[in-house]
Amino acid sequence: MSKSVIETPPKGGFSFDLCKRNEMLSKKGVNPPSFRKTGTTIVGLIFQDGVILGADTRATEGPIVCDKNCEKIHYMAPNIYCCGAGTAADTEAVTDMVSSQLQLHRYHTGRESRVVTALTLLKRHLFNYQGYVSAALVLGGVDVSGPHLHTIYPHGSTDTLPFATMGSGSLAAMAVFESKYREGLTRNEGIELVTEAICSGIFNDLGSGSNVDICVITKGGKEYLRNHLQPNPRTYTSSKGYSFPKKTEVLLTKIIPLKEKVEIIEGGDAMEE
Amino acid sequence: MDLEMNLNAPHSMGTTIIGVTYNGGVVLGADSRTSTGMYVANRASDKITQLTDNVYVCRSGSAADSQIVSDYVRYFLHQHTIQLGQSATSKVAANLIRLLSYNNKNMLETGLIVGGWDKYEGGKIYAIPLGGTLIEQPFAIGGSGSSYLYGFFDQAWKEGMTKDEAEQLVVKAVSLAIARDGASGGVVRTVIINSEGVTRNFYPGDKLQLWHEELEPQNSLLDLLNSSNPEPMNI
């Protein structure tokens, strides 16, 4: 890509000047503060009745695990869920934003949301920010035109696939899918395969760990299986329990209940203009 | 190999894309590999995207840029078709792509080949490489794998081929490029557009002809061990 020689007045849209300044500073050794990433293994696959999404639950801040049980499968619509990898703030913000836009669109059209709508909203947003919104997503759902599964990359490109993996553990999970996926899996086979793929990421990738979350979406509805599998329980806790020496003496305990200042009327009249 | 950097690399399509005219229409062909750094993000992608009923475009370069450009052009062509009252010509589609590519040349990284059939000019192929130039050619090649095909086309291309000859030429060319270019691979997809309509074809990678030093596709090394007389490995 060539640099423009002539100084053109700003045409509007996002200004990437500070991004260039940050890159220049990084090269000189001044690093920005580390931010919370979801190292992550996220997967999705299409089975005979719909879509199954899976994710691990580790969130990292540089080398530290800052959340051992975070939720990476985000709600977009009653029939659409989205797994997010990359910067935790970016995935949360972008999925929340598109989820609100989808709800407004549902009110506007009076119909159930479609997966391609969510896909287009997400890819337009991410493309406009040219990859600086670091969100890599696996979007899955079932709508009137059937089950759909898409991957969305931070630069705004999308792929439509029967099975997909994203995140730092994607290679480990993809190896499991490539060897064991076939069309027309049943619900239990699908859940087992997704669990196996996420576990492969959890145990072989340093950026992923803790538990497995699963979300099964079919025409009838959705099932969010939070912590479907917990292969990393906390072992070696002291059987005696932990006791910490008391340092501050309690002199007096006084409890004052708060008085209700508001009268709650059951029923009441409807608001009139 | 630094995995962290690779998975955050922009999604690019290494690619081999081809567009060829024949007497009666055009044949577009492409491989199916999309890579992020050294990892194959999608081994079965569809790089031949529909713009209108009779005009398709082969995409190469940055996946995001080419998808967005083709989305915009599909939208403009849809409006144009309504205003015109009949289907758009391939020349209009190519020019819309060219305008977007040229005017945003600093920010886009995408090479496209537009192919279509219309009742005024018949089958036409237009190449719009990186800078946004528009060039109408009897055949066009693009993408990283095209470097290996210039000599092949100089020798193998001829005017006035039939539909089957043209399609076989395209499949052979993409398969040769896949054999030599690391960034191309997967399956070969072709789209034939003529007065009768559009035909999509699919050639899986392991069914393609084998070239110099290419081995037969194996399902698993375990098959070799379990067979009755395993061949000794030859260097």
**Sheet holding A50-55: strands in order across?**
A163-166, A42-47, A50-55, A212-218, A222-229
> How many degrees, rounded to 5, is the angle at CA A191 between CA A186 and CA A194?
120
Residue A159 is nearest to which of B3, B4, B42, comparing CB atoms?
B42
Mean pLDDT of B122-136: 96
By CA distance, what is B32's nearest residue in A?
A159
CA-CA-CA-CA torsion sign (A120, A122, A123, A125): positive
Single-letter residue type at A150: H
Instruction: Kindly list the catalytic residues of B.
Output: 15
pLDDT at A262: 76
pLDDT at B181: 93
Q: How far apart are CA B170 and CA B188, in angstroms?
A: 9
Q: What is the domain range of residue B56?
A: 15-225
Q: What are the sequence ranges of the domains in chain A? A: 35-227
Counting runs of H as helices and runs of E as strands, what totals does chain B give? 6, 13
Place of tokens 């480990």: A172
Mean pLDDT of B208-220: 81
Q: Residue B158 belongs to what H/E stretch? A: none
Residue B180 within a domain = yes
Tens digits of per-residue pLDDT, A230-253? Answer: 998 888 777 787 788 878 888 899
Tell me if A157 and B109 make a contact (CB, 8 A cut-off): no
Does domain A35-227 bear CATH number 2.40.50.140? Answer: no
* Per-residue tens of pLDDT for chain A, all 273 residues: 455 556 666 566 777 888 888 888 888 887 776 666 657 999 999 999 999 999 999 988 888 888 899 999 999 999 999 999 999 999 999 999 999 999 999 999 999 999 999 999 999 999 999 999 999 999 999 999 999 999 999 999 999 999 999 999 999 999 999 999 999 999 999 999 999 999 999 999 988 989 999 999 999 999 999 999 899 888 877 778 778 887 888 889 999 888 877 777 777 677 766
Q: Do the interacting molecules here have an ipTM over 0.90? A: no
Residue B219 within a domain = yes
Q: What is the value of pTM for the model shown?
A: 0.81
Residue B92, pLDDT above cutoff 90: yes
Residue A207 in contact with residue A62, Cβ under 8 Å?
no
Total domains present in chain B: 1
Question: What does each C-alpha distance from B73 to A205, A272, B97, B100, B177 come to in angstroms?
Answer: 41, 50, 6, 8, 29
Residue A168 is nearest to which of B7, B42, B44, comparing CB atoms?
B7
pLDDT at B234: 66
Band (pLDDT 50/70/90 cuts) for residue B223 is low
Residue A212 in contact with residue A227, Cβ under 8 Å?
yes
Contact residues, B window 9-38, toward A, CB-based 8 Å cutoff:
10-11, 34, 36
CA-CA-CA-CA torsion sign (A7, A20, B37, A125): negative
Per DSSP, the three-state class of B154 is helix
CATH number for the domain that contains residue B159 = 3.60.20.10
Chain A residues near residue B39 by CB distance under 8 angstroms:
170-171
Residue A171 is nearest to which of B39, B64, B105, comparing CB atoms?
B39
